[in-house]
Structure 1
């Protein structure tokens, strides 16, 4: 039987914790014995995994330890894993080490690799992808401003070190940074269908549901724009942000919606899966207007409960879903609105200021004219600008223009999403695809095969992949959205 030790910062509620619990459930059907090592567990400490150890140094922390401390914690981790598993783990499966929420974890990973331990580094969220504060903490505090040490901490390289990513975009970025394909694994998250619901529509008015925590990249302004140009439908979002900065923008959108009298309800959901299932059941369709995703659950979950999906596409994420068989023709890749509504000079000024600030937040030089022009071309074409590329202030300007203005509505560059809601045949087709391709059983089989591959790896000296290249890939100006800064 193969032995695996899963390492994470904590077991508190959250996306990665959910994946860990799903992993334990799925691998129960495979010849894999799994222990979990974390820095913290919930205060109520119920429903913990059977084999779990708490190592406080793995919990969130800012100050990095001294060099010898990394080695001590790495030894402690292996000792605890051996005590739980009855032998040294064949694979240590580490989640999100590059975020360095524990300043110890990148150093622990390197110590384990140097000792010959076979590792699977599972990256859900990249610090390079819209998380400059995390990146600067790693670069400045942990790596001490040394770019070579930064690469060693974030992307160590050795035959015994493997990487798992959620999507083909990230796979390509790491491959280009030097990770051999033999050591690089595509591992999309499992998607469990929501519980069955008996809920039905409360009124004849169709409900357009946006099931999301309304942080900035979820592009709430675009959601309001569609509400502003819709007759006879109700729109609703589920969860408000918890981040103070995101909450500020969210409250501004709520205030604008109320001033304009838009048919929008905010924060109608809860963390309860049963409550979310009821909302899905009562919705005419589900919408997404997000401009950036990691895995892309928003493009999969609605189909599992038989609800059609409309809204904004993210091709760098959905291309693999289409390859799996999903039909997503109702989605649009951009929402063109007349450039004159926001003003070319104003937009150029804001784009330059925003992109410059973003590059500086990652310690990069100011963007040159070629970079600025590439960002402009990604946003503007033929006198139209993609609404999602605007900042919140300019988005609000557009929402005010189209509200109650039928002539302005006709200037939008794509049809209204409610004019292209997928029919029952497509909904059923996509439901079958998602249930098969993203099931827990499929995930567990993939992960078990990856574990076997990692466990059979040879062992060699530890170097580093090209961390600067990973950052450059994420910072390409064509990917820039002002609402992500």
Structure 2
């Protein structure tokens, strides 16, 4: 078997790291189960991609298979109002056949093909399927999941008039076309859309050990000095880029409630200028209120950071925190244990249920963080949320509901993540101005919050047991075996026949575009 892995770019980050980890997972397989060779098809962008995928691995001096990087400029993000599916398919096909990757021996594994970054890609994959290329289409993120700009681009470029029409273009169905999801939630959604259960696979990201993590007693004084805090300060690290869906305001609220003895920190600022607006607002609010909360500590001083190395930040921390409201896989829920740190913050049950089913215990997380409705204008916040949902529905081409569902409620107390950003700022200001009273009120509303704020919740967590669970269930070896199983099924399937569409692709949009799934911070500038 030969393997072609396709993604828009190989820049450092989520999907690119997943691809790199998949290569390491495949390398753990017996020689007769590994691919003969792998081609990475991308646009040409590969910022921070390693010079060798085997660098600093056990295969550095004896690569298990060849990996070629093949740049196809037509895979770049596009802003065109027209689809050029045939042109892109020709470019991919010519590249593959030129290196001997023919349809009878090759699997094309495409990542985030329907996200709307390149509107021609779904049509191109249909053409490749007609040429006989067997495919695994892996979804990390959906355009339908409150990404209106991506969705509008797809609608315009494909000339689709209705969501159902667009879904027919995005999601092909045929022998030889299989789908993979990162989590059970998305697996269930694609089943509902009509993907053949025999051609739908759950494929977790592998979790790689943090080799080279410095000793805590070396990293801690170094990081505390860089941050300008005492060695006695409790460090709670949020190891992410501070994009909107990471819900940075909630980190500020934790900081306001925890007091000066605790420093909360986000490792990196967003790279995307559109995401920078809200991040800068949170930076200004933290400074205005003199909160012991530092955002972007890993960025260089020239970009208002402290130059803290990522591994140093993890090694120096007392706990890891997550306040995210949306994840495709949720790596932080697994990685914290491999750096021997407890995890506190917000649970995403639709994502973490896959992990807890394997025995992971997430006792430091809660599904919501309730705030009293009398700390802000509850009626105004409720109306803004409803207006935002109506706008989102119209933006996605769906009818806007006149009234909210009967089972939806908003108040008297509200989950912080359900508030528009200006009301979140009001809550943070209230907590900073009245810390003891605010803490008492919120601890009454949120069982377990007192332990999370004091550090007691962190101290009681089963860190070692969770680390063993992660190493057993989500190791490169486990994911390698899963990849081999999936690829074997794809390769044994027939191919080259008629290519249709999922019976109810619009089900995907209906599943995501729900009022109870709306978090305003994801849609506000």
- TM-score normalised by L of structure 1: 0.92
**TM-fit CA distance, 1:116:** 3.2
Is 1:190 the counterpart of 2:231 in the alignment? no
2:441 alignment partner, SS class: coil
* Cα 1:397/1:467, change in 2 over 3 Å: same
Name which of 487, 490, 499 aligns with 1:462: 499
Name which of 290, 293, 296 aligns with 1:267: 296
In the alignment, which residue of structure 2 is the partner of 1:418?
453
1:3·1:85 contact (CA, 8 Å) conserved in 2?
no
Alignment of 1:204-215 (within 5 A): 204-215=232-243
Is 1:394 the counterpart of 2:423 in the alignment? yes
Is 1:172 the counterpart of 2:172 in the alignment? no
Structure 1 CA distance for aligned equivalents of residues 191 and 47 of structure 2? 40
* Cα 1:481/1:82, change in 2 over 3 Å: same
Alignment of 1:250-261 (within 5 A): 250-261=279-290
In the alignment, which residue of structure 2 is the partner of 1:409?
439
Name which of 57, 82, 85 aligns with 2:74: 57
In the alignment, which residue of structure 2 is the partner of 1:132?
148
In the alignment, which residue of structure 2 is the partner of 1:27?
26
1:81 alignment partner, SS class: helix
1:143·1:149 contact (CA, 8 Å) conserved in 2?
no
**TM-fit CA distance, 1:286:** 0.9
* Cα 1:100/1:262, change in 2 over 3 Å: closer
In the alignment, which residue of structure 1 is the partner of 2:44?
40
Worse-matched range after superposition: 34-43 or 98-107: 34-43
- TM-score normalised by L of structure 2: 0.85
In the alignment, which residue of structure 1 is the partner of 2:224?
none
Structure 2 CA distance for aligned equivalents of residues 224 and 126 of structure 1? 28
Cα deviation, 1:352-372, whole Å, max 9, x if unaligned, reads 22111221221222123134x
Structure 2 CA distance for aligned equivalents of residues 93 and 389 of structure 1? 36
Alignment of 1:211-230 (within 5 A): 211-230=239-258
Is 1:365 the counterpart of 2:399 in the alignment? yes
Name which of 284, 302, 316 aligns with 1:282: 316
* Cα 1:338/1:194, change in 2 over 3 Å: same
2:342·2:461 contact (CA, 8 Å) conserved in 1?
no
Structure 1 CA distance for aligned equivalents of residues 472 and 380 of structure 2? 48
* Cα 1:117/1:148, change in 2 over 3 Å: farther
Structure 2 CA distance for aligned equivalents of residues 386 and 43 of structure 1? 38
User: Aligned residue pairs: how many?
Assistant: 477
Structure 2 CA distance for aligned equivalents of residues 273 and 267 of structure 1? 9
1:100·1:106 contact (CA, 8 Å) conserved in 2?
no
In the alignment, which residue of structure 1 is the partner of 2:58?
none
**TM-fit CA distance, 1:114:** 2.5
2:40 alignment partner, SS class: strand
Cα deviation, 1:376-407, whole Å, max 9, x if unaligned, reads 42x43xx2111110011101111111224222
Structure 2 CA distance for aligned equivalents of residues 43 and 340 of structure 1? 48
In the alignment, which residue of structure 1 is the partner of 2:92?
77
Structure 1 CA distance for aligned equivalents of residues 258 and 8 of structure 2? 44
2:283·2:295 contact (CA, 8 Å) conserved in 1?
yes
1:26·1:440 contact (CA, 8 Å) conserved in 2?
yes
1:217 alignment partner, SS class: helix
Structure 2 CA distance for aligned equivalents of residues 398 and 48 of structure 1? 48
2:373·2:413 contact (CA, 8 Å) conserved in 1?
yes
In the alignment, which residue of structure 2 is the partner of 1:108?
124
Structure 1 CA distance for aligned equivalents of residues 149 and 121 of structure 2? 17
In angstroms, what is the RMSD of aligned CA positions?
2.4
Structure 1 CA distance for aligned equivalents of residues 513 and 207 of structure 2? 29
Structure 1: which 5+ residue stretches go unaligned?
none
* Cα 1:86/1:397, change in 2 over 3 Å: closer
1:126 alignment partner, SS class: coil
**TM-fit CA distance, 1:147:** 4.6
